[in-house]
C-alpha cells in the first residue's frame, strides 16, 4: 500500500510471462494492489497479439502511456485493449512499463523465440531487440483517473527494476531450497547404505565367531553317533542333536549370505558413471563456488563392475570434496590407465579415478584413520563415519584399491584403482 500511496496510483499490478494452458507464451496477472485477485487471474494476454498494448510492452521493452479519451497521445497508435485489461483499468489513464528481463526464465519460454517472430513490420522495435530474446519478463501497470506525468513513468520504471530483482532473489532462494532438499535426500540414501553395510559387517563377524565352535560341536556329534550302537538308548538323542546343529549351521550360512550380498557385475563404462554421479551434485557445487573440471580418457576400456556401487563411491568422494572447500575452489576429476607416478602398485593394471580438491588438506594423524568405521571429522550431525569405510569395502569387493594423498594446505587427492581386464595388460605394458 505504501508503494501505491507514494505513486498515487489507484490500481497497480504485475503481469508475468508464463505459458498458457494451450502451451503458448502469454502474460498473466500475478499480484496487484487495489485489484481483485479473481479479476487479475483472468488477465491472460497472448504474446502473439501484436496489437495488444501490454504484449507490445513486454516484447519491445518500451514503456507505454495511455491517456483516456485521447488515443492520439498514446505512444503506439494501433491500440486494442483486451476485455480483461479494460475490466481492471476501466476508463482510467494507465501506464505500462516492462519488468526487466533476467536470464533465468524457464527454457520453454525462450526456446525457438526471436523478437522478429512477433515484430514483423515494426523496424524500430526490431532495432531494439539485439539479443534475440525477450527484453522483459513481465509488465508493471499503474492506473488512475488523474493524468500521468513523465516523472511518474520514470519512477514506475525504477519500481519495475526492483520487482525484477525481487523475482531473481525469490528464484535463487527456491533453487537453494531445492538443492538442500536434494542434498538431504542424497545424504539419507548414503546414510541408509552405510548403516546396512555396518550391520552386515557386524552380522558377518558374529556368524563367523559362532560358526567356528559350531563346527567343532558337529564333528564331536558325528564321532559320538558313529561310535554308538544302533540300539543304544542315547543314539536317538545324539541324532536329534546332530540334526539341530546342522540346522543351526544352515542358518549361519544364510546370515553370511545376507551380510555379504553379491553385487550385480556387468561391463561398465566408468566415465559414464563419473558423469552421471557428478550431475547429481553439480548444482550444489556451483552454488558453493566450486568449479568441477572433468578430464576423462575416452579410450578407457569397459570393466566388470557394479555401476550402482561405483556411483555410491564417487558420490561420497564428491560430497567429501565439497565439504572440504567451504569457501569454494576447484574439483578435478580424472580417469586414465594408472601410471607409475599415480601409484606403483596400480601402474598399467588398473583404471584410476582421481578426485582432487583444493581444500585445506588432511593432517597425517587423521589421514591414517580415514578408512576406519565410525571415524568422522564432520561431527555427529553431518557424518556417520562410515562413508569412506563403505567406499573401501566396495572397491575391495571389485578387486581394487583406494588411496589418499594429501598435505596440509595443499588439498587432498583420492585415487580409486579398479582392475583392468587381463587382456589389457599386455597392451598397457607394451
* 53-67, 137-151, 252-266: range with lowest mean pLDDT: 252-266
Which span out of 76-85, 122-131, 212-221 was modeled with the highest average pLDDT? 212-221
Note the pTM of the prediction, 2 decimals: 0.47
More confident residue, 321 or 91: 321
Q: Does domain 2-148 have CATH number 3.40.50.300?
A: no
pLDDT given for residue 392 in this prediction: 85
pLDDT in the model for residue 294: 94
Mean per-residue pLDDT over the chain, rounded: 75
Q: For the chain, give the percent of residues with pLDDT over 90.
A: 14
Q: What is the pLDDT of residue 330?
A: 92
More confident site: 181 or 17: 17
Which of 21-35, 113-127, 234-248 has the highest average model confidence (pLDDT)? 234-248
**Architecture label for domain 266-429:** 2-Layer Sandwich (3.30)
More reliable by pLDDT, 400 or 112: 400
What's the whole-number mean pLDDT along residues 337-353? 81
Q: With 60 as the cut, is the pLDDT of residue 350 above it?
A: yes
Please indicate whether residue 395 or residue 113 has the higher confidence score (pLDDT). 395
Per the model's pLDDT, the better-predicted residue between 202 and 153 turns out to be 153
pLDDT score of 219:
78
Please tell me the predicted confidence (pLDDT) of residue 200. 67
Q: Of residues 413 and 51, which shows the higher confidence score?
A: 413
When mean pLDDT is compared over 123-137, 254-268, 309-323, 337-351, the highest value belongs to 309-323
| pLDDT for res 133 | 47
- 70 confidence band (pLDDT: 50, 70, 90): low
pLDDT at residue 75 tops 50: no
Average pLDDT over residues 119-126: 45
Tell me the CATH number for domain 182-259.
1.10.287
Tell me: pLDDT of 355 over 80: yes
pLDDT in tens, 270-300: 999 999 989 888 888 888 889 999 999 999 9
Q: What is the pLDDT of residue 263?
A: 60
Task: Decide if pLDDT at 97 tops 80.
Answer: yes
Q: What is the mean pLDDT of residues 111-128?
A: 45
pLDDT of 57 over the 90 cut: no
Q: How confident is the model at residue 248 (pLDDT cuts 50, 70, 90)?
A: confident
For 197-239, the pLDDT digits (tens) are: 666 666 766 776 677 687 778 778 878 888 888 888 888 888 8
State residue 379's pLDDT score.
Answer: 58
Question: For residue 105, what pLDDT is reported?
Answer: 53
Mean pLDDT of 248-254: 70
pLDDT of residue 116: 41
Q: What confidence score (pLDDT) does residue 412 get?
A: 92
What does the domain layout of the chain look like in residue ranges?
Answer: 2-148, 182-259, 266-429
* Higher-pLDDT residue of 389, 361: 361
Confidence of residue 153 (pLDDT cuts 50, 70, 90): confident
Average pLDDT for residues 395-419, to the nearest whole number? 90
| Residue 128 clears pLDDT 50, i.e. is over it | no
pLDDT reported for residue 292:
92
Integer Rg of the chain from CA: 35
Amino acid at each position: 500500500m505504501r508503494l501505491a500511496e507514494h505513486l498515487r496510483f489507484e490500481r497497480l499490478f504485475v503481469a508475468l510471462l508464463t505459458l498458457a494452458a494451450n502451451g503458448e507464451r502469454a502474460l498473466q496477472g500475478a499480484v496487484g494492489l487495489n485489484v481483485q485477485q479473481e479479476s487479475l487471474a483472468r488477465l491472460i494476454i497472448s504474446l502473439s497479439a501484436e496489437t495488444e498494448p501490454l504484449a507490445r510492452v513486454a516484447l519491445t521493452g518500451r514503456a507505454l502511456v495511455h491517456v483516456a479519451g485521447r488515443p492520439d497521445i498514446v505512444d503506439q497508435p494501433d491500440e486494442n485493449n483486451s476485455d480483461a485489461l479494460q475490466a481492471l483499468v476501466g476508463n482510467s489513464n494507465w501506464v505500462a512499463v516492462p519488468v526487466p528481463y533476467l536470464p533465468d526464465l524457464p527454457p520453454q519460454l525462450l526456446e525457438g523465440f526471436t523478437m522478429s517472430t512477433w515484430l514483423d513490420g515494426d523496424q524500430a522495435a526490431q532495432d531494439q531487440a539485439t539479443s534475440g530474446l525477450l527484453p522483459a519478463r513481465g509488465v508493471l501497470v499503474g492506473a488512475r483517473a488523474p493524468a500521468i506525468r513523465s516523472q511518474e513513468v520514470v519512477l514506475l520504471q525504477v519500481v519495475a527494476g526492483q520487482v525484477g530483482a525481487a523475482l531473481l532473489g525469490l528464484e535463487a532462494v527456491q533453487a537453494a531450497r531445492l538443492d538442500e532438499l536434494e542434498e538431504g535426500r542424497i545424504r539419507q540414501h548414503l546414510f541408509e547404505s552405510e548403516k546396512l553395510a555396518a550391520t552386515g559387517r557386524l552380522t558377518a563377524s558374529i556368524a563367523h565367531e559362532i560358526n567356528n565352535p559350531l563346527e567343532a560341536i558337529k564333528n564331536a556329534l558325528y564321532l559320538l553317533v558313529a561310535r554308538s550302537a544302533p540300539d543304544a538308548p542315547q543314539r536317538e538323542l545324539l541324532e536329534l542333536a546332530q540334526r539341530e546343529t546342522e540346522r543351526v549351521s544352515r542358518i549361519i550360512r544364510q546370515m553370511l549370505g545376507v551380510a555379504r550380498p553379491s553385487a550385480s557385475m556387468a561391463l561398465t563404462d566408468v566415465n559414464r558413471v563419473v558423469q552421471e554421479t557428478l550431475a547429481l551434485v553439480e548444482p550444489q557445487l556451483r552454488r558453493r563456488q566450486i568449479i568441477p573440471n572433468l578430464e576423462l580418457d575416452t579410450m578407457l576400456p569397459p570393466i566388470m563392475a557394479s555401476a550402482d556401487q561405483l556411483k555410491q563411491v564417487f558420490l561420497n568422494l564428491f560430497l567429501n570434496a565439497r565439504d572440504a572447500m567451504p569457501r569454494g575452489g576447484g574439483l578435478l576429476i580424472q580417469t586414465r590407465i594408472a601410471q607409475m607416478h599415480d601409484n606403483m602398485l596400480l601402474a598399467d593394471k588398473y583404471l584410476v579415478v582421481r578426485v582432487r580438491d583444493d581444500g585445506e588438506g588432511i593432517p597425517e594423524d587423521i589421514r591414517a584413520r580415514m578408512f576406519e568405521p565410525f571415524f568422522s571429522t564432520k561431527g555427529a550431525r553431518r557424518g556417520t563415519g562410515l562413508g569412506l569405510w563403505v567406499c573401501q569395502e566396495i572397491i575391495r569387493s571389485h578387486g581394487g584399491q583406494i588411496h589418499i594423498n594429501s598435505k596440509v594446505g595443499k588439498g587432498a587427492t583420492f585415487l580409486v584403482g579398479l582392475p583392468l581386464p587381463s587382456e589389457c595388460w599386455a597392451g598397457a605394458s607394451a
